[in-house]
Structures are given as structure tokens and as C-alpha cells.
Amino acid sequence: MEGASRVFGGEYECATLAVSAHDPISPAWIVTPGGAWCRLVFLAGALTEVTDNGDVIRCRLADPTGAFDLVISSRRSTVADTLLEIPVPAFVTVSGTAQSYQRNDALVVSVRPDHVQLADRKTRDAWILETAHQTLARLERLLAALNGTNSDERALVTIRHYALTKEHLADQVAMIERAVQCAAAAVPDAAGGTGAAGGNAQGIVMEILRAENRPRGIAVEEVLGQAEARGVSSDLALAAIRALIEDDECYQPQKGYLRPL
């Protein structure tokens, strides 16, 4: 039985290759630049947006490297109900199926969630570490293929399609390092909070909210991006958002968006 792949959002969202299975019933593999061949995937991260468009529910699941688009085409399902009930932002784990479609001659990738469960930061950090381990192992196989010491067909297909070089592999290693550092930076202090760093994160988040006080609010994912650019990890920013909501400093005019009070 095929196991679920673990892959970072920053790698998956760059995938431009789908390889059809010999079995017409089975879904195609989504092949990433890091050598992951994905059909079933196991993900963990911050659920930052849930949009209900009637028959289709679209979500964003962010990790420290990028984000996954989650798409459910059937409104009447347990997974859809679960996603609509989860308060955003929140850490979740997702088991799902890799999928893709063509748009303007470009491949667009997403994930169809089959199971979603609330999680905590510890679970998300453990996922980062294991995903980093598996991604590095795939990169090692690609490097061996580049050096001519590995003739694995999947590695060779990946290298040919993405025209991979050792520099490309080094860039992916740097992405992994950033993810692992983010997980390490999210460790709470002895009191169970985020200490002085957490207080500073709340101040930075509030500055972003006040500067971007739009009628609709600002997307949580955009807050995380701006906070990271100012030196606040997504984990600390998420903790700050939760604390600010609990303290009535900000609110959610709609799921996935924030406004200051």
C-alpha cells in the first residue's frame, strides 16, 4: 500500500509536473522539484483561510515555507463540515489526495482533504522535523543522480523536467533550514507562553492590523507574511493573533480575516 508523502508547501506549490498512473482509476502523481512523487499526502500547518463558495470550499494551509491550497468540491461531507467549524487561524493536520488541473497551459496543484483534525504547535513542529528529514533524503537521491551514482528512474524524470542543478538543490536545503529554525523558535517559555518575544509579536501584529485597516480586514496569511518580514515567526504571530482576539484587541469580520477593535 502506498504511503502518504510529506512535503513542504514551498516545494509543493512549485510543482509543474503530473505523471499519470498506469491504472486509469488511480490519480496522477504530482512530482515536485524536490523529488517527491505525491498522490496521498500528510500535512500539518496553520489553517489561515476558509472560503465557502457554495458547492466548493477552498482553504489555505500554511507552513513556514509556503502554503497549500485545499479544495473540497462536495459541500456535503464530514470534512467540509469540520473545516467550516474550525476557528481560523488554527493548527491542523490534513490527510488528502494530491490533485491538479491545467489553466492557461500551466499546471495548478492543490490537495483534496480526506481527513482534517485540530492540532497544536507541538504536532506541527514534529511534522516539520519529520518532513525535513524525508525531504533531505529525497534531495540526496537527486544529488546522487546528478553525480551519476543513482539511476533511479523517478529521480531522473524529476531532474530532466525541472532541469535541476546542484544550486537548485542547495536552495531547497536552505528552505528546509528555515523551516526547522522556525519550529525551534516557536518553543514556548517555561510558563507555557511565548515570553517577551510573544509580547513583542502582539505589538507587531497590532501595528500591521492598524496599518491595513480595510473594510474587509486583512487576510491572516498576509499578516503572517508581513510579521515574518519583520522577524516574527508565523508560530509566534499565530499565538499573538489568538491572544489579541481573546483580549478583544481585534476580531474576525469573516473567517480568515482580521480587523482591529
188-207 residue pLDDT tens? 443 334 444 455 888 899 89
- The mean per-residue pLDDT over the stretch 148-175 comes to 95
109 and 15 in a common domain = yes
Domain range for 173: 126-185
190 lies in some domain: no
Write out pLDDT tens, residues 95-145: 999 999 888 888 999 999 999 999 988 899 899 999 999 999 999 999 999
Chain segment 39-60, per-residue pLDDT in tens: 999 999 988 888 888 789 999 9
Same domain (yes/no): 103, 166: no
Q: What's the predicted TM-score (pTM) here?
A: 0.76
Distances (CA, A) of 17 to 20, 43, 111, 235: 10, 20, 15, 31
Final residue of a domain: which of 120, 154, 169? Answer: 120
User: Residue 246: its pLDDT value, please?
Assistant: 64
Residues 26 and 108 placed together within one structural domain of the fold: yes
Judgement on whether residues 83 and 46 belong to the same structural domain of the protein: yes
With a CB cutoff of 8 Å and minimum separation 6, the contacts of 82 are 116, 117
Question: In which band, very low, low, confident or very high, does the pLDDT at 174 lie, cut at 50, 70 and 90?
Answer: very high
Q: What is the mean pLDDT of the chain?
A: 87
Query: 244: domain CATH number?
Result: 1.10.10.10
Same domain for 116 and 13? yes
Q: Which three cell numbers stand for residue 69?
A: 491550497
Give the domain-ending residue among 185, 210, 232: 185
Nearest to 200 by CA among 178, 185, 217, 221: 185
**Assigned domain for 109 exists:** yes
pLDDT(187) > 60: no
User: How many domains is the chain built from?
Assistant: 3
Compute φ and ψ for 36, nearest 5 degrees: -85, 130
CATH at 70 = 2.40.50.140
Residue 88 covered by a domain: yes
Q: Is residue 1 part of a domain?
A: no
